[in-house]
Structure 1
Amino acid sequence: MRVYKCFRILGWDFTITPTRFVLTGFVLLMVAAVVLRLLTGFQYVTNLTDETPWGMWIAFDVMCGVALAGGGYSTALLVNMLRYKEFSVIARGALLTSLLGYILVMAGLFLDIGQWFNFWRPFVSWGYTSVLFEVFWCISIYTTILSFEFFEIITERVLVKKLHKYIVKILPVLIVIGLVFPVLHQSSLGGLFLIMKEKMFPLWWSEFLPIYFLLSSFFIGSAMVTVETTLAKSAYGHEIPHEVMMKLNRIGASIMGVYLLLKLYDLFEKHEWGYVFQGSLQSNMYCLEMIFGIIIPIIIIISPLCKKRWGLLTYAWLTVLGVILNRLNCVFTSMYESGAYFPGVGEIIVSVGLISMGILIYCFLVENFNIIGNERAVQIKIDKDKDIKNLIWALLRTKRR
C-alpha cells in the first residue's frame, strides 16, 4: 500500500498525492486565466459573442452547478423536516458538497459579468421585476445560510465553545430558512427560459420549466450524495450502509417518476411527438437525455439491480449526467445553431480549475473536521491543539516573568 506525505502545519493536516498535485496545477492555470479575463474582458479567454452570450460558465458552472449542489437542501428536508433520521449520517457530507458547489457557482456568476467591477450593484439597485435578480439574491442568501450552517462544524474544531453553543441554538432557524431559498432559485432558473419561447426548440420549452428544474434538482441531489459518498469511501474508507443509500435514491427516483410523467403529459398536450422522432440533432439529444438520464435510471432503481452497489452507483451517475445534459441542452442545443458556439480554452480551464479547487478544499476540510464520521480523528486533533495552545500560553507567561 502506497503511503503519501501528510503535512501538518499549525495543527492542520493535508495529504499530498499525485492527483492533488495535478489538481493544484489546474487551479494555478485557472488563476492565470481569471486574471487575464478580469484585465482584458471576454475576447481573449472566451468565445462568447452577442449572438451566443450564454457560454460554458453559465450553462455548466451556474446552471449545472446549482443543480449538482441540490443535495444539501434535499437531505436537510428529509432529515430535519420529514424526520428520516437514518439519513443524518450523510447530512454533513451533503452540506459540505452543497456549500462548495454554491461558492463555485458564485465565482462563475462573477466571471460572467461583463463589467465585473459592478458586481455590487444588485445589492443596492433593486430590479425586483427581473427573474435573474431574484436568482442572484436567493443564491447569495442561501450561500450565506449554508456558510452559517457549516460554521457549526468549524466551531467544533477551533474550540470556540461559546460561539458554538449559540450556533447550535440558531441552527434550526437557519435550516428552515435554508429550505425556502433553494426552492425559489432552483425553479427560477427554469423561469429564465420562459421568455425565450421563440428561441428555444419546442422539446425543451414548456410552461412547466420552473417545475422541471425544481424536481430535477431534488432527484439529482440524492444521486450526487451517492457519488460523493462513493468517492469518499475510495479516498478515506468512509462507507455508508447500502440500505440507507438505496432508500435515499428511491425517494429521489419517485420524484424522477413524477418528472417523467409530467414530461410525457407535456408531449401529448402540445402534440410534439413529431419532434422526438424527426432525426435531427435536437431530437437525438432529447432522446439521449430522456433515455439514459431518466428512463434507464428508473428501470435500475425499481429492479433488483439497485440492491447491488455497482447498480446503485450506475443509477447515480446516469442521473447526474442526465441532468447535466438537460441543462446544457436547454442552453446550447435548444437555442444555438449547430457549431455556433464552442467553449474557448480559457473557459474550459476556468471550469476545470473551479472543480479542482472545490475537490482540494473538500479534501482539506474532511481531513480536519468531523464531516464523514471521523469524530475520533478530529478529537485527537483537538486535544493536540489544546496542548499546543497550552504550551504557547506557558511560554508567553514565562517571558512576562
Structure 2
Amino acid sequence: MKPRYFPAASGGAQPAAVGRAPARAVAGPGAAVREMAVSLGPARLALWALVAAALVAVGYRMVAGLGASTHLTDVWPWGLWKIVGVVVAIPLAAGAFVVAAWVHVFRHHGYEALARPAVLAGFIGYLTAVASLVVDIGQPHRIWHPIVMWQPHSVLFEICWCVILYTTVLALEFSPVALRALGWERPRRALEAAIVPLAVAGATLCVLHQSSLGSLFLIAPGRVHPLWYTPALPLIFFVSSVAAGLATLQILTWVTGRLYGQAVGERLKAGLARGLTVVLGLLLAVRVVDWAARGTGPWQATGLEAAMAWLELLVGIALPLVLLAWEWRSGGIRWRLLAAVLAAGGVFLHRLDVGLISMRQAANGAGYFPSWMEFLVMAGIVALGMLAYDWVARRLPLFER
C-alpha cells in the first residue's frame, strides 16, 4: 500500500505511516548508496568523482607548490591551466555577450529563448577561467591585489578588471531567473528593467578583453612565432571569439535538447548557422589577408608550426564553411552540428597555437608537456562547470519562454 500524504502544520506534506514502514527507513547504508547512485546517474557520479580527485590534486598543488605539481619552468611559465583555462575558455563562453547584444540591444527578440541558457553558460565559463587562474597563480592568496593595486599601463590589469566586471554583469543578467524562483518580484523587475544597459556594458567589456587577450601576446615579439605574431592579433582574437561563441551555442542547443528536452526552433538554429557562416568567412579573410600582407603563411613555413597553422585554417575554418554552404545548397541540417564542433575546435586550436606551439622555437629546445596533475585539475574544473550547469538547468526555469 502506498503511503498517504496529509498537509503538515508547516505547510508541507508528510507521509502517514500506513501498513509497513517505507523500505528506506530499514534499508542499510548500501541500499542508500545504490539509491543515490540511481538518482544521480552514472554520468553525474563520474563527474563528481573527477571533481573529488581534482580537489585532492589542488590541495597538493597548494601545499607542494607549482614546481612539484606541474611541468612549468622559467622558460615555460604559462601552461595548461592558464592557456586552456583562461585564453581558450573565455572565447568559448562568448556566446553570452553575442546573444545578449543581439536580443536586447539590436532587439531581435525571436532569439530570446537562447538568452538565458547562453548567459548561464557564459557565467559558468568565466567562473571556470577564474578557478583555473587561482590554481595557476604562484601565490593565489594575492589574487585580490589588482582590485586595490592599480597598474593601468598593464594589459593583464585591463584583462583582470574586464573579467571581474563582465562576470558581475553576467551574474546580474542571469539573476532574474533565480529571483523569480525565490519569488522576489521587486528586485527581479528592477533587474529586468536594466537589462539593456547591462547588455551594452557586457558587449563593451567583451570587445575590450577579448581583443586584449590578443594584445597580451604582442608584448613578446621574440617568443611568438611569425605565423601568429601580428598587429592584427587583437582583431583575430575578437572575431574568433564571436565565432567560438556562436559555435558553442549551436552545440549547447543540441545538448540541452537531448538532456532537458528544450525544443529550440529550427529558425533559431538556422539563424545561428548563418551568423557562424558570416563570422567564419570574415575570420578566414582576416587570416589570409594578414599572412599575405606580412609575406608569411603556412605555405612558407615548415615543421610543426606550419602543420598546426594549416590544421586550424583548413579544418577549423574552411571545412566548417564548406559544410554550412553544402547544408544551404542541399536543404538539409545534417552537417550543422559537425560544422559547429569543428569551428569551436578551430578556435581552441588557434589559442593553443598562440599560447604554446608558437613559443616552442624560442624555448631553445626546452619542451613542455603538462603533467598528469595539470590534466586532472583542468578536467575537474570542467566537470564542476558541467555539474553546475546541470544543477541550475534541473532546478530553475532556464528554458521557459
Which category of TM-score, normalised to the shorter sequence, fits these structures?
0.7 to 0.9
Distance (whole Å) between structure 1 residues aligned to residue 190 and residue 114 of structure 2: 23
Distance (whole Å) between structure 1 residues aligned to residue 372 and residue 366 of structure 2: 16
Indicate if the aligned counterparts of 1:187 and 1:213 stay in contact, CA closer than 8 A: yes
CA distance 1:15–1:70, change in 2 (3 Å): farther
**Matched residue, 1:267:** 291
Larger radius of gyration: 2
What's the secondary structure of 1:196's corresponding residue? coil
**Matched residue, 1:234:** 258
CA distance 1:15–1:253, change in 2 (3 Å): farther
Distance (whole Å) between structure 2 residues aligned to residue 177 and residue 15 of structure 1: 41
**Matched residue, 1:288:** 311
- Unaligned segments of structure 1, at least 5 residues: 1-9, 376-401
Indicate if the aligned counterparts of 2:327 and 2:333 stay in contact, CA closer than 8 A: no
Distance (whole Å) between structure 2 residues aligned to residue 106 and residue 122 of structure 1: 14
CA distance 1:307–1:371, change in 2 (3 Å): farther
Equivalent position amino acid for 1:290 in 2: L
Mean CA deviation greater in 319-328 or 261-270: 261-270
> 1:240-293, CA deviations, whole angstroms, 9 ceiling, x for partnerless residues?
1223112122112212211111111111111114x4354411101100010000
How many angstroms does 1:83 deviate by?
A: 2.1
Q: TM-score, normalised by structure 2?
A: 0.87
Report matched runs for 1:1-400 at 5 Å: 15-273=39-297, 275-304=298-327, 307-337=331-361, 340-373=367-400
- Unaligned segments of structure 2, at least 5 residues: 1-11, 14-37
Indicate if the aligned counterparts of 2:105 and 2:199 stay in contact, CA closer than 8 A: no
Distance (whole Å) between structure 1 residues aligned to residue 299 and residue 227 of structure 2: 8
How many angstroms does 1:34 deviate by?
A: 1.2
Distance (whole Å) between structure 1 residues aligned to residue 65 and residue 45 of structure 2: 29
Indicate if the aligned counterparts of 1:87 and 1:248 stay in contact, CA closer than 8 A: no
Distance (whole Å) between structure 2 residues aligned to residue 86 and residue 195 of structure 1: 42
Indicate if the aligned counterparts of 1:242 and 1:309 stay in contact, CA closer than 8 A: no
Distance (whole Å) between structure 1 residues aligned to residue 110 and residue 194 of structure 2: 23
Q: TM-score, normalised by structure 1?
A: 0.87
> 1:138-186, CA deviations, whole angstroms, 9 ceiling, x for partnerless residues?
0011001111111111001011122222222222222221111111000
Distance (whole Å) between structure 1 residues aligned to residue 259 and residue 358 of structure 2: 39
Equivalent position amino acid for 2:199 in 1: I
Equivalent position amino acid for 2:161 in 1: W
CA distance 1:170–1:214, change in 2 (3 Å): same
Aligned length: 363
Distance (whole Å) between structure 1 residues aligned to residue 117 and residue 220 of structure 2: 37
How many angstroms does 1:369 deviate by?
A: 0.9
Equivalent position amino acid for 1:186 in 2: Q
Distance (whole Å) between structure 2 residues aligned to residue 41 and residue 147 of structure 1: 32
Indicate if the aligned counterparts of 1:230 and 1:239 stay in contact, CA closer than 8 A: no
> 1:48-71, CA deviations, whole angstroms, 9 ceiling, x for partnerless residues?
100001100111110111010000
Distance (whole Å) between structure 2 residues aligned to residue 307 and residue 359 of structure 1: 33
What's the secondary structure of 2:278's corresponding residue? helix
Distance (whole Å) between structure 1 residues aligned to residue 250 and residue 366 of structure 2: 35
How many angstroms does 1:15 deviate by?
A: 4.9
Indicate if the aligned counterparts of 1:276 and 1:286 stay in contact, CA closer than 8 A: no
> 1:303-330, CA deviations, whole angstroms, 9 ceiling, x for partnerless residues?
2368433310011000011000000000
Distance (whole Å) between structure 2 residues aligned to residue 239 and residue 322 of structure 1: 28
Distance (whole Å) between structure 2 residues aligned to residue 332 and residue 357 of structure 1: 25
Indicate if the aligned counterparts of 1:276 and 1:284 stay in contact, CA closer than 8 A: no
**Matched residue, 1:399:** none
What's the secondary structure of 2:359's corresponding residue? coil
